[in-house]
Amino acid sequence: MNLEKKTMGEKVQEQRSADRGKTIEVNDLYVTYNVRKKRKKAKNQAGDEECVHAVNGVTMDIRTGEILAVVGESGCGKTTLGKAILNIIRSSSGTIKYHGQDLSKLSGSQIQSLRQKMQLIFQDPYESLDPRQSVYKALEEPLDIHRKDMSPEQKKERIYKYLEAVGLHPAETMAQRYPHHLSGGQRQRLSIAATMILEPDFVVADEPVSMLDVSIRAEILKLMLDLQKGTDLTYMFITHDLSLAWLIADRIAVFYLGKLVEIGQADDVVHRCMHPYSQALVSVIPKIREEADEDKGHVLRGETPSPMSIPSGCCFHTRCWLYQEKGCPEVCRQKEPALVTVGGDHQAACHFAGPEEKGGDLHG
């Protein structure tokens, strides 16, 4: 059995001790999508063009060598943020720095050359691979684009090396295969190989295991961690699954309606969460091995408001259980809460951020 006894907590400790600076610095980033731009009728009452506010003033760092999990429900802007950082989507305002370099000040060709250092693992390995491309071709293509200096022999050597590294062996045989010959897990291994073959130091993994069966998941996650070992590789791990984020990430960032509501060490965000939204998310995680409580905690009513009309003040107040409990304070409707430090390496954006009072009438 490949039981990894070392807890993730120890791993975090190791990484803290070797603070290696910041790979990505995001400052006050906004991404808005205009919708129905050409039709005049689409203008709303205020006369502005209707737009989707996908990312709303996000400021955060991604530290070198860490795994930062970005967690939130669909439509919270987590994928948009990842793509904006990789410069696949243009941001509306704000800055993104990669190792201190402002990406918006770079020319197209400079971005192109940076792109091999910043890569993306896609969610669905059934759709992200070209069915007419052999495994070898799929891995050769990124090298053809970015590594024109490599000879065909060097490329071949590199491709075989990475096929073995991601567990697709024997490499010679696997290289001849096509995606339809591969199972879901093998396809995702191939996607990872295609991402890693350029030896990036920053990888955005967009729900890399959500399409896979649970028994396959662990292997893929383990592979991602193995590839990181002994390198400065930094992951931004996008997921909707908070318990998975807790398991593999060093830090977790929780998003709601395009805003960062809480960020901190994985254990802090899950076990000592300060924001009522994160507290609600944690409370709906099923207890697998324990007797289930009758009281489910905070199942939020209703649905996430449209990112086209974000509520005033704190964007969460329309669904917030704490807001109700506090007797609907005005400050929540009027003032947008800033991200404040709530302890150690832990920040939350809530006027009333604080640990949930245990033993009270909240959790029973």
Partner 1 sequence: MNMLEIKDLSVHFKSRAGTVHAVEGVNLWLEKGELLGVAGESGCGKTTTTLAIPGLLPQNAFIPRGQILFNGEDLVKKTEKEMEKVRWKQISVIFQGAMNALNPLQTVGKQMIEPILLHEPHVSKKEAEERVKELLEQVGIEKNRFTNYPHEFSGGMRQRVMIAMSLVCDPELVIADEPVTALDVMIQAQILELLKKLVKKYSLSMIMISHDLSVLCELCDKIAIMYAGRVVEYGYAREVFTHPKHPYTVKLLHSLPDIYGEKVFINGIPGYPPSLITPPAGCPFCERCTERIPECGSRVPELVDLGGGHYAACCRQTEGRAVV
Please give the residue ranges that form the binding site for partner 1 (CB under 8 A). Answer: 1-5, 7-9, 73-74, 183, 185, 213-219, 221-222, 240-244, 246-247, 267, 270-271, 280-282, 284-292, 296, 299-301, 303-304
Q: At its nearest, how many Å lie between partner 1 and the CB of residue 212? A: 9
DSSP string, 153-220: HHHHHHHHHHHHHTT--SHHHHHH--GGGS-HHHHHHHHHHHHHTT--SEEEEESTTTTS-HHHHHHH
Least distance in angstroms from the C-beta of 26 to partner 1: 24
**At its nearest, how many Å lie between partner 1 and the CB of residue 193?**
18
Instruction: Report the nearest approach of partner 1 to the CB of residue 199 (Å).
Output: 25
Q: Any bridge partners for residue 34, and if so which?
A: 51
Distance CA 80, CA 58 (A): 12
Q: How many whole angstroms from its chain centre is CA 325?
A: 31
198 closest CA partner among 262, 121, 263: 121
3 state DSSP class of 330: helix
When the beta carbons of 120 and 249 are compared against partner 1, the nearer one is 249
| Six token digits for residue 201 | 């130091």
Nearer to partner 1, 290 or 330 (CB): 290
Q: How far is the CB of 300 from partner 1 (least distance, A)?
A: 5
Min dist CB 171 to partner 1, Å, is: 19
**Residue the block writes with tokens 């669904």:** 319
Smallest distance from partner 1 to CB 283, Å: 9
Apex 307 CA angle, 302 and 312, nearest 5 = 80
The tokens for 358 are 């245990």
Closer residue to partner 1 in complex, CB, 8/106: 8
CA 107 – CA 104 distance, rounded (Å): 8
Q: Is residue 298 within 8 Å of residue 275, measured between CB atoms? A: no
Q: Which two tokens stand for residue 151?
A: 């000879």
Q: Give the residue with the Cβ less far from partner 1, 232 or 295.
A: 295
Dihedral (C-alpha) 149, 64, 162, 206: value to the nearest 10 degrees? Answer: -110
28 vs 295, beta carbon nearer partner 1: 295
User: Of 165 and 244, which CB lies nearer to partner 1 in the complex structure?
Assistant: 244
Q: Which residue lies nearer to partner 1 by CB, 29 or 314?
A: 314
Strand order from edge to edge, sheet including 93-98: 51-63, 22-34, 93-98, 101-102
**Max Cα–Cα distance, the chain, nearest Å:** 70
To the nearest whole angstrom, how small is the minimum distance from the Cβ of residue 281 to partner 1? Answer: 7
**185 or 208: whose CB is closer to partner 1?**
185
